[in-house]
Amino acid sequence: MNKRTIKFSLVSCLIGSLCYGSALIASESTQGAIDFRESVMTTFKWYLQPMGAMTKGDMPFDATLFKSRAEGLANATRLDVTEGFPLGSAEDTEAQPKIWDDWDDFKLKYEALQKEATELQRVASSGDEAAMKAQFGKTAKTCGGCHKEYRKKK
């Protein structure tokens, strides 16, 4: 998260003799979109983590917890995170500028997550541990699949 864009507009606004209110509003809404997408991503991580730990065996398997996290993740993926990626909002974030060159593919990668997370919710209600872990793997792969292409390495 970075507020430099807003600060920069404020400073150039004070220094410059002309002050374009609309430019300021535009950069504020860009920051809002960035905050939105980063909070949604953080929400995904919250739901994903214990299922990942259970799948890896770092945590004892708990079908009730797994089911509730699978439900939470599926609900969270019903938010359209792509709304949080307005054109030109890569600067000072981990978003790759090529997102906007490959917009259709970026959206497809998000739909892949939505589909797998919905399936994970369905499988989790069965209580079948092996099936849940297998479907978790498929779901987590869609996070990595998008990050590999469209998120900058730290």
Residues 10, 93, 100, 102: which binds ligand HEC (CB under 6 A)?
Answer: 93
DSSP string of 100-142, one letter each residue: GTSHHHHHHHHHHHHHHHHHHHHHHTTT-HHHHHHHHHHHHHH
Nearer to ligand HEC, 9 or 89 (CB): 89
Nearer to ligand HEC, 16 or 114 (CB): 114
Write out the H or E segment, with its range, that includes residue 55. Answer: helix 21-56
Q: Report which residue type is found at 148.
A: K
Q: How far apart are CA 105 and CA 98, in angstroms?
A: 11
Residue 45 as a binder of ligand HEC (CB under 6 A): the answer is: yes
Residue 48 as a binder of ligand HEC (CB under 6 A): the answer is: yes
Nearer to ligand HEC, 21 or 153 (CB): 153
Residue 19 is labelled as binding a ligand: no
Contact 140, 117 (CB under 8 A): no
Residue 83 as a binder of ligand HEC (CB under 6 A): the answer is: no
Near ligand HEC in 9-38, by CB under 6 A: 34, 37-38
Tokens of 84: 């949080």
Query: What mask, x for binding ligand HEC by CB under 6 A, covers residues 115 to 144?
Result: ---------------------------xx-
Residue 147 is labelled as binding a ligand: yes
The alpha-carbon radius of gyration of the chain (Å, integer) is 19
Known binding-site positions:
143, 146-147
